[in-house]
Amino acid sequence: MLSTVLKSPSLSGHDTSRKSCLEKPCAVRKQDSRHGLLWNVALCCLLFTLNGLSEDSAGKSTSVRETLIRISTEKEGLVTHLYVENVQAADVTVTFEMELSNLEADVKFPYTVTLAGKKRLKLFALTPQQPNRGWSWTYTYYSTFGSTNVEHDNSYVYTLPYVPGKSYRVSQGYNGEYSHFGADQFAIDWRMPVGTPICAARGGLVVGVKNDSNIGGDDPKYDWDANYILVQHSDGTLGQYVHLQKGGCKVKVGQRIEAGDCIGLSGNTGHSTGPHLHFSVFKARDGKHRQTLPVRYKTADDFAVTLQEGRSYKASGSSAMLATGNVKGANVAVTDSAAGLRSSTEPDLLGARGSNAVGH
């Protein structure tokens, strides 16, 4: 038996047709008997495929899937040790559930652990209770980006993620009806044209980038096709910028950025009703769930404000501050033409849902 699910960076975990974050479950069964060792292992390529083990279902996609973790076992006599390796630069949290027959584990299940980026860890050991009898085990694991061991710095005030002096409307705010509930409760969508320069809302270390998708639409089948940038902040929380255009990520994994740095270009990839930017700050609750966090923003009119759906907000500062958009090797023009900005007299071509552009 095998199932794998990796949830997309911006969908709700409370709706089975939508997903909220990079999570996945996988089930593997192993049996032993007095007549020899019988493996019944469904090899996991860690694809994002539909499975009933998760709260959410995954839409099919043609995009290339990425791996969060690798699972391996090592034998020491009759004892089986299970290891997990985080192949990502970001923290990853894993939750294991086990069904054991004639085996005893040295931990209690469900068992949750957070692994730092690029780390390998021995999770637990399984020992036969009666070695002269057959034994078997089945495990299901769930993995998601983020750590359970972090606390958000609530005193931090975020920068609006676009060029100073520019103004964009919040098309979906906290508790938005379309998709901002459950795991995405405290996400923000800004309606903006494709190619709009995106600036870092907070500094940190770039720990994830997807940059190769050129497809999207208002359909769950595009859940896994959103380009994104994932940034780990100094308090350990993660910020994600989603639905960027193909080739629009102007930073690399391992690069350090500062608040206000231009890091990419907005787009309309993935599950989206129209061109917009989706941003949220989150941590992991366990391997099955993540938790988005409410944050406040500095605008041209207020120092620390909670953004409201339907309102437009102007980024503080002067656009001259980012006239060239050069950021640690990224060359992002921020002129009106490069950003794809239009005058108010031009026709509305942004969203499939009238004046709204939202997504997951």
More reliable by pLDDT, 59 or 118: 118
As a whole number, mean pLDDT of residues 228-248 equals 97
**Is pLDDT of 213 > 70?**
yes
Does the pLDDT value for residue 49 go beyond 80?
no
Please determine, for residue 114, whether its predicted confidence score (pLDDT) is greater than 90: yes
The yes-or-no verdict on residue 45 having pLDDT over 80 is no
The arithmetic mean of pLDDT across residues 209-222, rounded, is 92
Q: Which uninterrupted H or E stretch holds 338?
A: helix 336-339
More confident residue, 283 or 4: 283
Provide the pLDDT for residue 48. Answer: 25
The more confidently predicted of residues 20 and 287 is 287
103 pLDDT more than 70 = yes
Q: Under the phi-then-psi rule, with left for phi > 0, alpha for psi from -120 to 50, and beta for the rest, what region is 182?
A: left
Instruction: Answer yes or no: is pLDDT of 192 > 50.
Output: yes
pLDDT the model gives residue 158:
98
Q: What's residue 66's pLDDT?
A: 64
pLDDT at position 250: 97
Over residues 284-298, the mean pLDDT reads 96
Is residue 210 scored above 80 in pLDDT?
Answer: yes
Q: What angle do CA 360, 163, 232 make, to 5 degrees?
A: 55
Query: Does 91 score more than 50 pLDDT?
Result: yes
pLDDT band at 321 (very low <50, low <70, confident <90, very high): very low
| Complete DSSP assignment for 152-167 | --TT-EEEPSB-TT-E
Structure confidence at residue 194 as a pLDDT band (50, 70, 90): very high
| Average pLDDT value over all residues in the chain | 77
Is a pLDDT exceeding 50 seen at residue 58? no
Mean local confidence (pLDDT), 55-84: 71
What local confidence, expressed as pLDDT, does residue 180 receive?
85
The pLDDT of residue 135 is 94
- pLDDT beyond 50 at 55: no
Which H/E stretch holds residue 207? strand 204-210
Question: In this predicted structure, what is the pLDDT of residue 24?
Answer: 43
Q: What is the mean pLDDT of residues 15-22?
A: 28
Predicted local distance difference test score (pLDDT) of residue 360? 55
For each of the domains in the chain, give its residue range(s) and CATH number, in order of start. Answer: 23-145 (2.60.40), 157-339 (2.70.70.10)
- Letter string b/e over residues 229-267, b meaning 16 or more CB atoms within 10 A of that residue's CB: bbbbbeebbbbbbbbbbbebbbbebebebebbbbbbbbb
- pLDDT > 90: percent of the chain: 64
Bond prior to 110 in cis (omega within 30° of 0): yes
Kindly state the average pLDDT of the residues 261-281: 96
What's the confidence (pLDDT) of residue 334? 40
Phi, psi angles (nearest 5°) of residue 132: -85, 5
Q: Report the pLDDT averaged over residues 297-307.
A: 95
Residue pLDDT, tens place only, 142-173:
999 999 999 999 999 999 999 999 999 999 99
Q: What is the pLDDT of residue 348?
A: 25
| pTM exceeds 0.85, yes or no | no
